[in-house]
Structure 1
Amino acid sequence: MTTLTPILSANWDRPESFTLADYRAEGGYESLRTALGMDPDELVDLVKTAGLRGRGGAGFPTGMKWGFLPKDNPKPRYLVVNADESEPGTCKDVPLMLANPHVLLEGVAITCYAIRSHQAFIYVRGEVLHVIRRLRQAVAEAYEAGLFGTNILGSGFDLEVVVHAGAGAYICGEETALLDSLEGYRGQPRLKPPFPAVAGLYASPTVVNNVESISSVPSIVSGGADWFTAMGTEKSPGFGLFSLSGHVSRPGQYEAPLGVTLRELLDMAGGVREGHELKFWTPGGSSTPILTADHLDTPLDFEAIGAAGSMLGTRALQIFDDTTCVVRAVLRWIEFYAHESCGKCTPCREGNFWMVQVLERLEHGRGTEADLEKLLDICDNLLGRSFCALGDGATSPVTSSISYFRQEYIDHFEQGGCPFDPTKSTVWGESS
C-alpha cells in the first residue's frame, strides 16, 4: 500500500509535459480513439463497473451520475467540469491542469461522447491565470489536431470545448452556483430539485464533474475496470491525489491507492517537521472534521474516514504540529467561510458571522464556557439548514475541535489569552 501509483502525475517531471506532442508520445488520446469505437452506453457501464467515485469531495459514483440524464429530454446535453478549486488546503486540480492539461481534455472528450453531449465547459477559478492560459493553449492544440471540433478522429462525433474563467468566489465550487455563474448571473446555489441532471445549465440536462474525476476516465478506458478496481478498497476503488501541506517535511502531491493511511503518506513525505509531533489534521480540506494522531492508521477511503467521524473530501491533508493553537486555526477557517458565504440563506450568512465573533473572544481569552455551548448551538442551527454545503462544512472544524480539544478552548479564557508562545505558534505557516 506504500507504493505510489503515478498515473495522472506520471509525466509531471517532464519539462514539456503540458504539450500535446509530449502527451501523445506517452499514448495520449489513444483512449479517446478506443472510446469512439464503443457504444456510449458501454462507456457509461464501464465507468460504473470500475466504481469511480467523484474526486471533488462528495464521492458520488461518477457513472451513476452520468446515468441520471433523462433519455427523453429533447434539449442539448452539457458537460461542465468544476475546476473552481477553492477549498482551503485543496491543491490537486491546479497542478494537474498545469502539468498535464491534455489528460483532462481527453477525459472531457470521452465523457461527452459517453453522455451524448456536444458542448463542454471547463469552469476555472479566475485567480489561477497561468492555469487558464495553459488550458486554453491545450484546447487550441486539440482543435488544431482534430481532437476537438467537427468529426473528431473521423468518428462523426462533434464537440466544442470552452474554458471559462470565474471571478474568484468560493461559493462557485458548489455545482448549482457554478452553473448560475456560467450563465452570467451572480453565483448563488439553486434550490434542488430540480437537479442539474434534469435542469442544469440553460435548464438543460447537465453533468457536473470534478477535474480529477474526468481526468481519471482515460486510464479506465485503457486499463479496464478490473485494472482500476485492483487498486484501492472494495467500496472506494482506484487511485487519487493526496495533497500534503502544512507542517510536513516534504509537502506536495502523492498519488496513491485509496485506503492508504496518513502514517504511510507521512513516511513517504519525511514525516512531521523535525522536532515536532502531529497534533491534528484534516483528511479532506477545512470543511471536513479534523482528526488527531489517534487516526494515523485509519484507511483514507470514503467508508473508513466516515466511520472515524470525518469525510475524505478532496484528500487535502493539512498537517498541524504541536506548535499550533487549534482555536486560532479554527478562527482563521471560519473567517474564510464568513467572507465567502454568498449570503443567500440566513443560517450561513448569520451563523458564520457570529461564530467569528465568538471565536475571536475565545482566542483572546475573553470567552466563557457558555461561549463553547453557543458555538455548538450555532452549528446545530447551521448543519442541514443552509442552502448548500458551505454552511454544513463550516460547522466541521468547530464541532470537531471542541470535541477533541475542549480543554484548549478552556485554557484560553482561564489563562486570559492564548497559552501558546506567539513566536512559535503557527497557523498556515505564519507566526502570530
Structure 2
Amino acid sequence: MSDTLSCPVSGSSQPLPEYPMTRAAECPMAPPPAVHELRAEQPIAKVRIWNGTTPWLITRHADQRALLTDPRVSNDDLEPGFPYVNAHRADIAHRAPRMITNTDAPEHTRLRRMVNGPFVVKRIAAMRPTVQKMVDDLVDAMLAGPNPTDLLTDVALPLPSLVIAELLGVPYQDHGFFQDNSARVLDGSLPPEEAAKASGALLQYLEGLFEEKSAHPGDDVVSEMAGRVKAGEMTRSEATHMGVAMLIAGHETTTTMISLGTLALLEHPDQLALLRETDDPKVIANAVEEVLRYLTILQTGVRRVAREDIEYGGVVIRAGDGIIFDLHAANWDPEAFPEAERLDIGRPARTHQAFGYGPHQCLGQNLARLELQAVYGTLYRRVPTLRLATTVDQLEFDHTGTTYGVKSLPVTW
C-alpha cells in the first residue's frame, strides 16, 4: 500500500502563511499539510502572496460553492486588490483584452457564448471515436518502441496536443512550438519578461493562423471564431487571445492528469486493478472524476476579488480584498468527501471542484473528461503489467507552474 494513503493532514502554520504553501516531500500528490490545518481551524484565513498583499484563502468545499456563485465576488482582474498569481499575470492583466477568464457578466456571458459551442457535451461526444483512435495509435507505438519508456513523451504529451490541434484547427506539426511556449507562460519561476516573450510568440502564431482561416475556413474553432470576427461579434484581439488561452489550457492540464493520474493509480494497485478489469464506461467515467478530485492539479488557486463588503463565516471580507479558493483543499474536505485522503474510484466524486465552480467553471472540462476516459479506459487494460521503471522518490516533481506534475514518468511492462 502506498505511503500516499497515510499522508499527514495537519501541520504547523505561521500567523500569516505564505501562499502557495509547500507540500510534504513524502506526499507530493497531497495538499500541503498547512492547508489541512487552516481548513479545520480557520477555513477563511488571510495569507501572504508573492507581492506582499494578504488576500483571503477559502479552503472548505461548502464555503467555496457559496462564494464562487456570489455576485459580489468578481473575476475582473482589473479590479483594485485582485490577487494576481505572479508578476507576469499582473502585467498582462493591463495589456490583454477582456476574455472569459477575466470578466464578469454581462461581458463574460457574451464572450463565453462566442466560444462555448465547440465544447458542449454533444459536440465533444462526437469526437469520441477520433480520440479513441488517437489513444490506440499512441499505445500501439509505445508497445512497439523501447521498454522502459517515458509515458509523458509517449502518451501524456502527444494526446492532448493532437486533440486540441484537431479541435482548434492548429497544425499538429507545430506542437513542439506551442508546448514549449505554453510551459514558459505557466512557469512561475521564470522572469516576467520571459513569460511575456512566450505569450507574444503564441499571439503572433495565432494571428497568422487567423489570417489563414479567414481566407480558407475549415471545420474548427479558429475558423468559427474568425467568422465571428468578420460578423463583428467579437474583435480580432479577443479572438486571438482566446485562441491562445484555449491552446494553453487544452493540452497543459490534461497532459499532467494523464501522467500524474497514472502515477496515482500505480501507487494504489487495488484501485488500478478495478479499473484495469472493467470496460464499463460508467466505472471508467467515475474513476476519472475521483482521480480529478484526488489530485486537483491547480496549485495556485482560483483568484477573485470582492466588489462589496461580504459578511460570511464569521468574518467580513471588505470590498477590494483579494480572495483565493484552494480547490485541492476543498476536494480533500472530509465534510464533502469522507476519508478524502483515500483514492477510491468507486466514490461518488462528481461534486469535486477540480474544474472550479460557478459561472466561470472550466470551459474545456468535457473535452478533458473525454481524453482521460479514453486513456484510463484503454492504457491499463492493454498494458496490464504497466509499472514504474523507477521509484517514486526518484521522480522529479514540478511545482513551478500553476499546476503541479512530474517532469517524466518512466514506465515498463
Give me the TM-score of the superposition, normalised by structure 2: 0.23
Higher strand share: 1
Which protein is bigger by CA-based radius of gyration? 1
TM-score (norm 1): 0.23
Greater helix fraction, Structure 1 or Structure 2: 2
Which one has more relative contact order, counting CA pairs under 8 Å at least 6 apart?
2
